[in-house]
Amino acid sequence: MNESISFFGGGNMASAIAGGMQAANRLPQTLRLVDPDPRVREVWAERYGATCIATVDAPACESDYWVLAVKPQQMKDLCQAIACFQGSDGGAALSPGARTHGVISVAAGVRIARLAQWLGHSHRYIRCMPNTPALIGRGVTALYADEHLPEHDKAVAQRIIDCVGKSLWLSNEDAMDAVTAVSGSGPAYVFRMIEAMQDAALSLGLNSEASRILVLETLRGASELAAQSTLTPAQLREQVTSKGGTTAAALEVFEAEDYGGLILRALTRAAARSAELASLD
């Protein structure tokens, strides 16, 4: 990439993005990282050739694009630190002649309006919500930007995110809360299911290795089948379920425990929490 990029925060998601860009030969010639952890800085310097610093400084703010990859609770402080080097009064407005930047945020819940309030309204903002399978190039990311954002900025964000899996653009920023609940947090639900199924397999007498292989390969195969099939998940489920059989017996337990309702309540709570994060000050 020709554009220079500064990552603010070098944790798992930022590292997944940088690793994906490296694998796709899309790392920029000028790559900067701001992260307080010396171990993270060492890895980024050695692995990605990044110029690394512990705290925000003027050179880090000179990059064409900023990737804001800190926790939502840390975003205000980060933005205010960046704003100090942009000639803005707390982020509300940039001084005349100040340079504007492309800003890509991966923080859950933090709306573009709030970022603009903290950083300045003249910057070009994109929100994205990747998930942890990005670590192996199998992530899915939703992106949102104002309809007036230049196409070049969208293309840059797309080239970055495409390095870690599939992506889609949203037309409504509020939909990011649902995305966070479904796919952003979704891997944790799957990991919890893996954990529960493996524990059940052990209880039924299988050893740990057999439990692990059977559960992981079952979930992997079922997901791939659902992705490739023209049938709906309900139709696929019906194909596996013989009346009075073992699958039917298990599904009866799920239904008795309101499995669908449980999933709905959990995702609704996650989406609500994403909306709550938007109000953090």
As beta bridge partners, residue 143 has: 128, 169
In tens, the pLDDT along 205-238 reads 999 999 999 999 999 999 999 999 999 999 999 9
Confidence of residue 195 (pLDDT cuts 50, 70, 90): very high
Give me the helix-helix angle, 208-228 and 233-240, nearest 10°: 130
In tens, the pLDDT along 238-260 reads 999 999 999 999 999 999 999 99
Q: What is the reported pTM? A: 0.88
Residue 200 · residue 250 · CB < 8 Å: no
Instruction: Write the single-letter amino acid at 242.
Output: S
